[in-house]
Amino acid sequence: RQGSLIERLTALPARPATPTELLRVHTEEHVSLVASSRGRTFRFDPDTQAGPRSYDAALLAAGAAADAVDRVLLGEIDRAFCAVRPPGHHATADRAMGFCLFNNVAVAAAQALHRGLKRLMIVDFDVHHGNGTQDIFYDDPRVLYLSSHAFPFYPGTGTLDEVGVNLPMPPGLGDEEYARVYRTIAEPIGRAFDPELVLVSAGFDAHRGDPLAGMDLTRKGYAELTEVCLAIAEGSARGRVVIALEGGYDLDAIAGAGAAVVGGLLGARPGKLTWPARGRLDPLVDAYRKLLAPLWPVLEGGVSGPIPTAC
């Protein structure tokens, strides 16, 4: 099955991000500091260390995301999955943190805005909140950032009252719980915003096989999240989705979940995920709706019962 996926993909070489692309989202001081790590071992903070070639890899990661946006907007490719390292969503405008040097998805979003798009949505289902991405676009109404993440957890941001759509989640949630949150909260908001492009920060550290976070997603759950992103992209985005790899600490989990996401981009349809009309997530979903409905009237009244997988 992995082989059949690969046969349907077009592999594209990564190119380095240009200084102009980086400086749309990062300060000159930050770009210079990361560049100074080239050829040596350098520690940005207790968690984030660069090796001799980390700078080159980070340039390629950010450049690949920007190039994927260009190719999708030009119609050269339909959608893209950027299998890049290092990840990016913790990197702020002026700081490397959480293993992230440059913010790949932010560079991609800025590229899309530079090409003339007016509304972008970034969906981040990494188990950690993408504080860097949120910070970079905090005051930009053209970019809607939506994150589901374990809370309280590193980096400690992503509360319900922050700008954007933050969906803090308790540990132990699996496919059905994620499906409920994404189908009843994320998808209606995304469709109402009607972005011209959907960018995805795809972290696979909420997988049940990942040793860090204590979440319980499987391949089926990640396929469902991909379906939601594609559903959001059905309007003005005309199906255009660019996904960038973020976190994950178990190679088998990353491989399996990544294959499920790529399969979704290629048109594979997961089996339907349903959930009880009432369940342990009720207080949390009610809190999401209470806070978000004044900004997103589409959430008023709620949704009862299971939501079928989109076709």
8 A C-beta contact, residue 247 and residue 258: no
Residues with Cβ within 8 Å of 115's Cβ and at least 6 positions away in sequence, in order, are 69, 70, 73
Query: Measured between alpha carbons, how far is residue 87 from residues 40, 103, 154, 290, 306 in Å?
Result: 20, 8, 15, 33, 34
90 a catalytic residue: yes
Question: CA 86, CA 15: separation in Å to the nearest integer?
Answer: 15
Task: Characterize the bridge pairing of strands 49-50 and 197-202.
Answer: unpaired
Q: Which of 26, 30, 89, 90 is catalytic?
A: 90
SS3 210: coil
The two three-digit tokens of residue 173, written as one number: 């949630």
Q: Which residues are catalytic?
A: 90
